[in-house]
Chain A
């Protein structure tokens, strides 16, 4: 791989806290290596700001290997930046060239208020999971793991849905600020598995209702969410969630749902 260095202009959203009005601030960074990650480029910028006695830019990040879901930057109008199926921590600077200007914003959604600069409050996602994104099984109650066979196809489909990292890119990318892909992923995962069956109806209703309370919008079948999802979660999960919701709405309880599928 050919290595090179570059000088860049960054336009970064600055906001002191959720109470204040934010604005863009422009920075120049020099001698950025093409081998750096995007967040390491921000580390360099922050070092520069600290040495100048200025306040460094706050952003969420933790594992820096694309799995924890903490990082959340809206780069040049795209959640997590230009690469497909990627988190911004795994975006590398070889995506850019000398002289480029990059615009970086936080997730924009009424349900994700800005805490500071590029950092937003995503606790609404935790509350959606609280509403039903689990199987109610206390520790110690579980039967032997092999006592309930699950077809490989169902297990694989459940896994595909379960790969969601809860970063919120789907919401940020959606013009309606909908959390449908996030909810759909969890609803599908547990609907594909027999373990999730008993609470299938209450789960989908409670999670969808909670999302509405949090201020997330409705799904308009625009599919930006799938396009920007770093884990490639399919919009098929939204369709499944809608079907589950319909079933839950017309049936009297879990038994009715079971007999349909």
Chain B
């Protein structure tokens, strides 16, 4: 089946305006009679719930955390892109769109990506009006920095805590609606099933994580804003609770899952230190603006990094990609680190790390500063002192975080970094209206698939979450709900609610009654190893085929031998985890199947069989210029295609040489 993305007619730059000019509206009187469920309260969910409440809908918002303010959007460090062109350096909506499309390796939908760039400026206006304390220049205007190797400065930031500040802005807007009664907040609740009545999404079954009770909620429409599935890999930069259950359950109720194999491995994370490791911590990409990445040229190097002279160091990114050097996109930087470590040149006790070194930056800035201060013939110590001050002003909080975790001072010894799973570009398939294949079910933010293609650029996740929640969904959901104004609220004793709740209760009973010997974490860790080794930074047919068998075996073992302690009708964090891991194990297989069918390399998906003679990713547009959209059937997953048509920007191979 070929999917229709419902892209509006007209020139690329006019499509969204045309849509807004002609989409159907719901009158204020009717909005009061319509309920909307929003699952997840990160940037996408909080901004959507707040905006829908402002518009007059009755919103029920859900999060598994103890407060909506804790959603993992909060951890985003670097910044948010917007095509404001405040710096007068040639930025424009077109340029941001084009870079996003090209950065995504021409695997995203052109019209969605353009719209994202188009509304990006409104986000900055909205957040500023909310009191988000963005960095400013002395004249009082907003500051920008360049990020992820773009040639313009379009990234707005609030020190290293941009995600936190934007989320707190959206959270404030959300709490304001809670106070008015237009939004009801259900914290410590997890959606465990979607309720579909007459083919339309009409509600959810959620578990109250405090009492353990299953609860039924009706909505005329359901919006998923539940984030990505990076925790399939067990170790990732995601929060411990981040999970795919809401989207996976919806997938099994009819929502197609698109491009599950597109995962982003972030190049600059703190390496794994032991088997007990529970998560990985990102070091902002902005560090690559000044840090130089290297490994020793000698495999058996025993000297301390500071004692290794320049001629014995391999600055492999600068060597391989002279034009972009240390600023190549995330996927390229990650693969290059893996290549060096696999070849035996890695550093640290595990040999699975590379150096990110600031010694040269400290020296360079130090020389500039002593010159500025008019100090002649400054000695090395003075230069270093001044240089460290500059580096500390720029990256101080990151250096502190690194030192807390590793116990090493990055001003003295180079950081050790290694790639880690960070973001998932795949997700529920949505059309231009962010509508999934289940009528009445919408997906926004990281949990949908559409804007980033096969690779997301830095500082674009915050942009997409807020674009969807503040400025896109509130229009498109109205277009759908205008056809639903005569539908009265469906009582939750409807047989469909009964049946959905029973499904969940049966699954919980099944999980609790395995009474095996191994913890949920044991299975999750094993799943992570399979995925990291065989569906991680580089994939091949043999590995993926093996992974599918191994995942199936692990799943079988899980249902025979998992031990979930505690009770059903009380708080039970192990049971919460068991649900999530059971779903991860099913999704993992689909990720491998998708990676197997895509016999090309694109963005974060690198198939070893498809590379250039120099070892660079080779895209095959003739065969794979499509979105794979997987449909769940009792007989198995069926792949549907949405062909990608580029009317304006014709695909070219990415080159960072």
User: Does B643 touch A at the CB level, under 8 Å?
Assistant: no
A55 and B566 within 8 A (CB)? yes
A residues 48-71 in Cβ contact with B at 8 Å: 49-51, 53-56, 58, 60-70
For the complex, give the distance between the alpha carbons of A58 and B572 in Å. Answer: 8
In the bound complex, residues from chain B placing their C-beta under 8 Å from that of A69 are 69-70
B74 and A68 within 8 A (CB)? yes
In the bound complex, residues from chain B placing their C-beta under 8 Å from that of A116 are 570-571
**Nearest residue, chain A, Cβ from B173:** A134
B239 and A68 within 8 A (CB)? yes
In the bound complex, residues from chain A placing their C-beta under 8 Å from that of B158 are 159, 162
Q: Decide: A165 near B164, CB < 8 A? Known: A50-B565, A123-B67.
A: yes
Which of B74, B277, B474, B574 touches A40 (beta carbons < 8 Å)? B277
B residues 591-650 in Cβ contact with A at 8 Å: none
B residues 212-242 in Cβ contact with A at 8 Å: 239-241
Secondary structure call for the A interface? loop
A129 and B172 within 8 A (CB)? yes
**Nearest residue, chain A, Cβ from B160:** A67
User: Does A190 touch B at the CB level, under 8 Å?
Assistant: yes
| Residue picked from B125, B178, B210, most chain A C-beta under 10 Å | B125
For the complex, give the distance between the alpha carbons of A12 and B75 in Å. Answer: 29
A131 and B240 within 8 A (CB)? no
A155 and B405 within 8 A (CB)? no
User: Does A235 touch B at the CB level, under 8 Å?
Assistant: no
A67 and B75 within 8 A (CB)? yes
In the bound complex, residues from chain A placing their C-beta under 8 Å from that of B474 are 139
| Residue picked from A70, A83, A139, A141, most chain B C-beta under 10 Å | A139
In the bound complex, residues from chain A placing their C-beta under 8 Å from that of B239 are 62-64, 68
User: Does B488 touch A at the CB level, under 8 Å?
Assistant: no
A residues 120-149 in Cβ contact with B at 8 Å: 121-123, 125-126, 129-131, 133-146, 148-149
User: Does B122 touch A at the CB level, under 8 Å?
Assistant: yes
B residues 136-159 in Cβ contact with A at 8 Å: 136-142, 158-159
A135 and B519 within 8 A (CB)? no
User: Does A195 touch B at the CB level, under 8 Å?
Assistant: yes
For the complex, give the distance between the alpha carbons of A195 and B133 in Å. Answer: 10
In the bound complex, residues from chain A placing their C-beta under 8 Å from that of B134 are 145, 155
For the complex, give the distance between the alpha carbons of A165 and B74 in Å. Answer: 9
Shortest distance from the beta carbon of A86 to any chain B beta carbon, whole Å:
7
User: Does B168 touch A at the CB level, under 8 Å?
Assistant: yes
**Nearest residue, chain A, Cβ from B135:** A155
A158 and B210 within 8 A (CB)? no
Shortest distance from the beta carbon of B108 to any chain A beta carbon, whole Å:
25
Q: Decide: A123 near B129, CB < 8 A? Known: A130-B179, A139-B54, A150-B140.
A: no
B131 and A196 within 8 A (CB)? yes
For the complex, give the distance between the alpha carbons of A216 and B226 in Å. Answer: 33
In the bound complex, residues from chain B placing their C-beta under 8 Å from that of A11 are none
In the bound complex, residues from chain B placing their C-beta under 8 Å from that of A64 are 239-240, 278-279, 281
A37 and B278 within 8 A (CB)? yes
In the bound complex, residues from chain A placing their C-beta under 8 Å from that of B408 are 1
In the bound complex, residues from chain B placing their C-beta under 8 Å from that of A149 are 139-141
For the complex, give the distance between the alpha carbons of A37 and B133 in Å. Answer: 31
User: Does A94 touch B at the CB level, under 8 Å?
Assistant: yes
A135 and B129 within 8 A (CB)? yes
**Nearest residue, chain A, Cβ from B124:** A145
Which of B140, B277, B406 touches A152 (beta carbons < 8 Å)? B140
Shortest distance from the beta carbon of B294 to any chain A beta carbon, whole Å:
21
B67 and A159 within 8 A (CB)? no
**Pairs of residues from A and B, 8 with the lowest C-beta to C-beta distance, nearest first:** A149-B140, A134-B172, A142-B129, A1-B407, A142-B125, A145-B128, A159-B133, A158-B133
A sample of 6 inter-chain contacts (CB < 8 A) reads: A37-B405, A39-B278, A126-B178, A137-B129, A162-B165, A195-B130
User: Residues on A close to B: CB < 8 A?
Assistant: 1, 16-17, 33, 35-37, 39-40, 43-44, 47, 49-51, 53-56, 58, 60-70, 83, 86, 90, 92, 94, 115-116, 119, 121-123, 125-126, 129-131, 133-146, 148-152, 155-156, 158-159, 162-163, 165-166, 189-190, 193, 195-196
Other contacts beyond A56-B574, A62-B70: 7, CB < 8 A:
A50-B563, A62-B241, A68-B71, A133-B172, A133-B175, A141-B129, A162-B132
